[in-house]
Homo-oligomer: A and B are copies of this chain.
Amino acid sequence: MFQILIMFSKACEYGIRATVYIAQESLSGNRASLKVIAKEIDSPEAFTAKILQQLARHNLILSTKGPHGGFEIAPENLYHLTLDKIVKSIDGDEIYQGCGLGLKACDADNPCPLHFQFLEVRNKLSLMLHTTKIYEMAEGIVDGSAFLRR
């Protein structure tokens, strides 16, 4: 009964914040270790590990084991990576499909009474996710105009 209305699962929140932090480090050529990431974004370490594993499996971030290992974003990805990729990796593929009122299908031929209004909001969200770049978010951290904790 008590769930926030829009947005991300905890997994997704941590995933986004972690990725932004990793991007920030990658911008200055450093790798970030799980321990540091979890501390910097104030997230549960082991849980964050699972999420980063997923992102690594989907090749959104790179992971390296051993001393001086950690996570980074490949230079060729760094400036292209958008929010929607992160979200899709974590929350799955069917994000933009289901009916907002929970009907089994969502289509304009058999719409629920909220279909068209809902679509507008969803499209706006979708646009936001597709156009927001991780490195831009990271730059906000670097220049001190945005924060990943507190």
List chain A positions with a Cβ less than 8 A from chain B: 1-14, 16-17, 20, 50-51, 54, 83, 87, 90-92, 94-96, 98, 100-105, 110-115, 117-118, 120-122, 124-125, 128, 132, 136-138, 140-141, 145-150
Contacts and interface: CB of A to CB of B under 8 A. Distances in A.
Given A3-B11, A6-B7, 12 more contacts: A1-B50, A4-B94, A5-B87, A6-B100, A6-B125, A8-B102, A13-B102, A16-B114, A111-B145, A112-B146, A114-B132, A115-B146
A104 B7 CA distance: 15
A136 B114 CA distance: 10
A150 B103 contact: yes
Nearest to A17: B101
A43 to B, nearest CB: 9
A91 B146 contact: no
